[in-house]
Structure 1
């Protein structure tokens, strides 16, 4: 009996810890001199748990073929100051018109099959906090007039995206947006660094709400 109570207590403690655990997601993308590099780091418990997804290369294959994304993932842990690597895998993904169309169809099915889908997503986003957002861009074609036009377009795109996201998430500090026009040199470079966090319990509640509002008889 004591053993069962001990197991039950440990299980409840584990659920409690997981529920209030903050998941931190750091995203970095750089494009410099034609080279692309991206990285997503998911961590918890002060870095004791860390999952790293590296994107060392983005290769444009053409309009029909789309973009080839090479990624490398590994799970890391840090115990007593010693970092260990548990798993590692590599994968290549092609992002083309067929893949995008399939994603749009899947999204449409979700909206049709789950009531209050957008409301639930907005509720979850309201629990997300952005610790940091720095987005720098250097752009130019070698022509001053074209550089001015592209600079305006870049500012519009950035402001629109950040303004849309700001309706839902919280900011720990204001986002930093920069556009550096290059009037003499043709160049397209960008650097995006973002850090967000949320509690796993809020994600669990969001998933439970989606499952609860899933319409019976529809494809799960």
Structure 2
């Protein structure tokens, strides 16, 4: 009898923990600031009212043009073999060729898992933007070029916000600002965003993706067998 009671108590505690985790909200705060060619950025992840907290410092980003691309430099601490290898490869270059390769693999991924976009849209509908502030100061020293870049920057910002606005919920309207500099060369920005979602929705989204990935692999294997036959 005591064993049954103990089992029921443990089962009740387990169910309570599962429900608690399922409905727990995750808060992600992203802060990035570039001023006077100095980068500073971090990502803060918290849950359970701040009892669980993680903090990740974003690496430094150096922009040298589209041909050279941008170079990402980060600091890795630790004495393990993986950490030492990461130190040796601490610089990552992203240029035109890298973006083309990424685009190719992305389209291949989407074609293979045709439900990818549907799952992403479903998850975004469960995300709430609590805050979004994005201020940019841009200029090349030439008035005409600065005007063109300002228009391009506005286009990028409004396109991104328009995409997310189709699916996500906003607690307050996003604050977007661009300050063109016509007499000097400058690229400075301030980005601050806070989003929130439930752990249960993230679990369901991951489960859907894994299911579609398995279905996609099975379909591809079957098509290959038919082709060989």
Task: Quickly name the TM-score band, shorter chain normalised.
Answer: 0.7 to 0.9
**Match for residue 25 of structure 1?**
28
The alpha-carbon deviation at position 183 of structure 1 amounts to 2.0
Going from structure 1 to structure 2, the CA distance change for 1:114 and 1:45 (only over 3 Å counts) comes to: same
Q: How does 1:10-21 map to 2 (within 5 A)?
A: 10-21=13-24
Going from structure 1 to structure 2, the CA distance change for 1:108 and 1:139 (only over 3 Å counts) comes to: closer
**Match for residue 83 of structure 1?**
none
Q: Which has the higher strand share?
A: 1
Query: What do the CA deviations read for 1:140-175 (whole angstroms, capped 9, x no partner)?
Result: 122222222222221111111111111111111111
The alpha-carbon deviation at position 27 of structure 1 amounts to 0.7
Q: Secondary structure at the match of 2:182?
A: coil
Q: Secondary structure at the match of 1:217?
A: helix
Query: Over aligned residue pairs, what C-alpha RMSD do you find?
Result: 2.7
Q: How does 1:57-206 map to 2 (within 5 A)?
A: 57-59=60-62, 63=67, 67-70=71-74, 92=90, 94-96=92-94, 100=99, 103-104=102-103, 106-206=105-205
How many angstroms apart in 1 are the aligned matches of 2:119 and 2:204?
9
Higher mean displacement: 112-121 or 202-211: 112-121
Higher mean displacement: 184-193 or 140-149: 140-149
Using structure 1 for the length normalisation, give the TM-score.
0.80
Query: What do the CA deviations read for 1:67-114 (whole angstroms, capped 9, x no partner)?
Result: 2231569xxxxxxxxxxxxxxx89636243576566545544543443
Alignment pair present for 1:55 and 2:58: yes
* Preserved contact between residue 134 and residue 177 of structure 1 (Cα < 8 Å): yes
* Preserved contact between residue 54 and residue 71 of structure 1 (Cα < 8 Å): no
* Preserved contact between residue 36 and residue 57 of structure 1 (Cα < 8 Å): yes
Gaps of 5+ in 1: 74-88
The alpha-carbon deviation at position 212 of structure 1 amounts to 3.1
Greater Rg over alpha carbons, structure: 2
Q: May I ask how many residue pairs the two structures share in their alignment? A: 204
The alpha-carbon deviation at position 211 of structure 1 amounts to 2.8
Going from structure 1 to structure 2, the CA distance change for 1:130 and 1:187 (only over 3 Å counts) comes to: same
Using structure 2 for the length normalisation, give the TM-score.
0.77
* Preserved contact between residue 55 and residue 72 of structure 1 (Cα < 8 Å): no
Q: Secondary structure at the match of 1:39?
A: strand
**Match for residue 9 of structure 2?**
6
